[in-house]
Amino acid sequence: MSNIILITGASSGMGRAAVNFLSTKDFIVYAGTRDVENFKDVKSKNIIPIALDLRDQNSIIKAIEFIKQKHGKIDVLINNAGYGLVSTVEDVSEDEMYAQFNINVFGVLRVCKSVIPLMRENKSGIIINISSFLGKIGLPLLTLYNSSKYAVEGITDSLRYELKDFNIRVHSIMPGFFDTKFARENLVTNKKTFDKNSPYSNLVSSLAPIIVEQINNGNSATEVSQMILEIIQNPKFPARATVGDKAKKFIPMKKELSDEDFERRVMEYYNI
């Protein structure tokens, strides 16, 4: 029997690349998306688009129940959906703040909450959280995004203990910058922060274009798909791994240096 995979945020970027790649490796891939129309041209019988709105537990329960009725199991859950909010803390609105955590953190928890019982009953499962190298290091203007990804790292660490006795593995992938729709279409920016009269305008005009440029010229999403396959195939795969140039540059540096020395290196690198 083929292994069953559920991927969230599947319509573009790393999610879409993983759907395409894993569907060629004898997996049945459920492509969780807010809009299944995104998959109307898909030909592979191994790709099954499924409506999934991470803000709505009922939508998640419905999708998981559908998969359970068909296959009786979900072997692999890939929590991939996420987006970035660019705002200072001073300017961020209550709605923007909540929306960022609602997708990037509570969405992950909601899907885990619905999938874990099925994995636990089957005494088998793999949960892969697509976090970020910004889940271990901070950057200005990205406090809300960074803290949401730090939270994802915490979810991975805690769940690993909580689920180990049920033969459920939990891993985190920390990508560097990747060329996807992340910065091209899905970045959310705060109006006040980006106003030309903002007290942060120097920081915004120097840093924001560099970050966007680095993301749009980043690594290819297929590298993440390859790592997902390695995690599935290797029961001894480490708890977390980095992928992409920026993650491989900054994460080891963060481990080696003091917080203050690391901060100095980041300030030099981004000229902030």
- Which residues here bind ligand NAP, judged by CB under 6 A? 9-15, 33-34, 38, 54, 80-83, 103, 130, 132, 175, 177-178, 180-182, 186, 215, 218
**Which residues neighbour 220 within 8 Å (Cβ) at sequence distance 6 or greater?**
17, 178, 179
Residue nearest to ligand NAP (CB): 13
**Count of CB atoms situated within 10 Å of the CB of 236:** 5
Whether 206 is a known active-site residue: answer no
Which residue is catalytic, options 23, 87, 131, 132? 131
Q: Which is nearer to ligand NAP, 34 or 248 (CB)?
A: 34
SS3 state of residue 125: strand
- From the CB of 152, what's the least distance to ligand NAP, in Å? 8
7's CB contacts (< 8 A; 6+ apart) are 15, 18, 19, 22, 29, 30, 31, 32, 78, 80
Q: Which two tokens stand for residue 178?
A: 């990747």
Is 161 tagged catalytic? no
Q: Which is nearer to ligand NAP, 118 or 215 (CB)?
A: 215
Per the annotation, the verdict on 11 as an active-site residue is yes
Q: How far is the CB of 117 from ligand NAP (least distance, A)?
A: 24
Least gap, CB of 25 to ligand NAP (angstroms): 19
Tokens of 172: 């985190």
Q: How far does Cα 131 stand from its chain's mean position?
A: 4
Q: How far is the CB of 156 from ligand NAP (least distance, A)?
A: 13
Q: What is the sign of the dihedral through the CA atoms of 16, 21, 24 and 27?
A: negative
Tokens 């790292």 correspond to what residue?
A: 153
With respect to ligand NAP, which residue has the nearer C-beta, 212 or 272? 212
Q: How far is the CB of 197 from ligand NAP (least distance, A)?
A: 28
Is position 40 annotated as part of the catalytic site? no
Among residues 13 and 125, whose Cβ is nearest to ligand NAP?
A: 13
Helices (H), 122-200: 143-163, 181-184
Choosing from 149, 172, 200, 246, the catalytic residue is 149
Could you say which of 87, 145, 225, 246 is catalytic?
145
The nearer residue to ligand NAP, 73 or 181, going by C-beta atoms, is: 181
Q: Give, for 203, the enclosing helix (H) or strand (E).
A: helix 201-216
Residues β-bridged to residue 49 = 31
- For residue 48, the tally of other CB atoms under 10 A from its CB is 21
Q: Would you name the residues annotated as active-site residues?
A: 11, 131, 145, 149
